[in-house]
Structure 1
Amino acid sequence: MTEDSDGMHRRGASPGVYRIDPSATTVRFTTRAVFGLLPVQGSFTVDNGRILITEDIGDSAVDVVIRAASFESGNPQRDEHVRSMDYLDAAVHPEIVFRSRDVKRSAEGASVQGSLTVRGVTRPTVLTLGPVITDDQCLRAQAATSIDRYAFGLTKAKGMTGRHLGITLEVIAFLIGA
């Protein structure tokens, strides 16, 4: 399959609603801890989501729900602390939600403009699209963004916990209707 320089498949995704497959989709993060000395990486799990592809790609939309309690970094003690009220407060705010109603193309590529809600705080967020590959009923996409946790009120352990998180997504979704 041929791709344009912005990562979008020339044929494009068929217009319609695509359901994100949580078992095949990954949300990974990277950050640094202990005054930037130690790399930390891990993942979240997508609970559910959908992608609406319209004839005018700019009107397309993305809605994704991630379970805050799915935070995993490979260190059980750190994972429980991040899920606690000090950070994500997953018991009170179980969902991390991304909603978009705008896709933009430029000479540099394509981006999804939206809002991210973490712990009840909503901030604008832009996902930079990587390759988007489609076949008859399946859409595969890659995207990336950077999140400043302070913007969401997550300011505990300044210095000991990284302020910025790099987020990468690998999404697989299946066409469910036109």
Structure 2
Amino acid sequence: MIAIEAPALGAYRIEPSESTIEFVTRHFFGLAPVRGTFALREGVVHVADPVEASMVRATVDARSLDTGLAARDGTVRSPQFLDTARHPDITFVANSVDPNQVLRGTLTVRGRTEPLDVRIDEVRVLGDRLRLRACAEVDRYRWGVTAMKGMTGRRLRFTLSLVASRVDGR
């Protein structure tokens, strides 16, 4: 069941310290799950009228990847996968929300931008703050991240739990 509460119009700053970006994928020929996180660097939600014109912009610190295994994390940060030395940011920008509560946007990874839909599962209003839960599936091959085919998962399922504070005080 989708729980969507309508937040007040205006701009909200996403609070990195209160927000989480988690993912799950598979490795070892799809037999074992791998769970991990990324840290959000910054972001903003702008609630518009009509709500379909709302926008979201978020920047993720690609170097913050954490799967709990330092050797694997180093490999994924390397030029073979995310190349975080050259591409320290992963960005998501959405400029519309469709009636089915899907953010239509783009994701930029390793300097390559491709469309990405993010499904909103929940929006809760907490005074001048909002809590948003959403999910997306990323096919890493679309962004040119194709190393270790078969050994590592092609698709990653992301769960986003974001808290944002109102900044314009209308």
Give me the identity figure in percent: 37
Give the SS at the match of 1:81.
Answer: helix
Which residue of structure 1 aligns with residue 109 of structure 2? 118
Q: Distance in 1 between matches of 2:29 and 2:139?
A: 16
Which residue of structure 2 aligns with residue 174 of structure 1? 165
Q: Could you say what the CA RMSD is over the residues aligned between the two structures, in angstroms? A: 0.9
Alignment of 1:158 onto 2:149: yes
Written as runs of structure 1 = structure 2, the 5 A alignment for 1:10-21 is: 12-21=6-15
Q: Distance in 2 between matches of 1:135 and 1:66?
A: 24
Aligned-residue offset at 1:6? 4.1
Match of 2:130 among 139, 144, 159: 139
Q: Which amino acid aligns with 1:54?
A: A
Q: Distance in 1 between matches of 2:126 and 2:88?
A: 34
Q: Distance in 1 between matches of 2:2 and 2:34?
A: 30
Q: Which amino acid aligns with 1:113?
A: R
Q: Distance in 2 between matches of 1:173 and 1:57?
A: 17
Q: Distance in 2 between matches of 1:175 and 1:44?
A: 24
Aligned-residue offset at 1:33? 0.1
User: With structure 1 as the length reference, what TM-score do the two structures score?
Assistant: 0.93
Which residue of structure 2 aligns with residue 53 of structure 1? 47
Written as runs of structure 1 = structure 2, the 5 A alignment for 1:97-112 is: 97-106=91-100, 110-112=101-103
User: Where in structure 2 are there 5+ consecutive unaligned residues?
Assistant: none
Give the SS at the match of 1:90.
Answer: coil
Q: Distance in 2 between matches of 1:136 and 1:153?
A: 42
Aligned-residue offset at 1:45? 0.2
Q: How many residues align?
A: 169
Aligned-residue offset at 1:136? 2.0
1:61-98, CA deviations, whole angstroms, 9 ceiling, x for partnerless residues? Answer: 00000011001100000001100100000000000000
Q: Distance in 2 between matches of 1:14 and 1:136?
A: 10
Which residue of structure 2 aligns with residue 63 of structure 1? 57
1:72-130, CA deviations, whole angstroms, 9 ceiling, x for partnerless residues? Answer: 10000000110010000000000000000001113xxx111100000011110001101
Q: Which amino acid aligns with 1:7?
A: A
Match of 1:27 among 21, 33, 41: 21
Q: Which amino acid aligns with 1:52?
A: H
Aligned-residue offset at 1:135? 2.5
Q: Distance in 2 between matches of 1:41 and 1:6?
A: 24
Aligned-residue offset at 1:8? 1.2
Is the Cα contact below 8 Å between 1:7 and 1:129 reproduced in 2? Answer: no
User: Where in structure 1 are there 5+ consecutive unaligned residues?
Assistant: none
Alignment of 1:37 onto 2:31: yes
Give the SS at the match of 2:17.
Answer: coil
Aligned-residue offset at 1:131? 1.1
Where does structure 1 differ by over 3 angstroms across 4 or more consecutive aligned residues? none
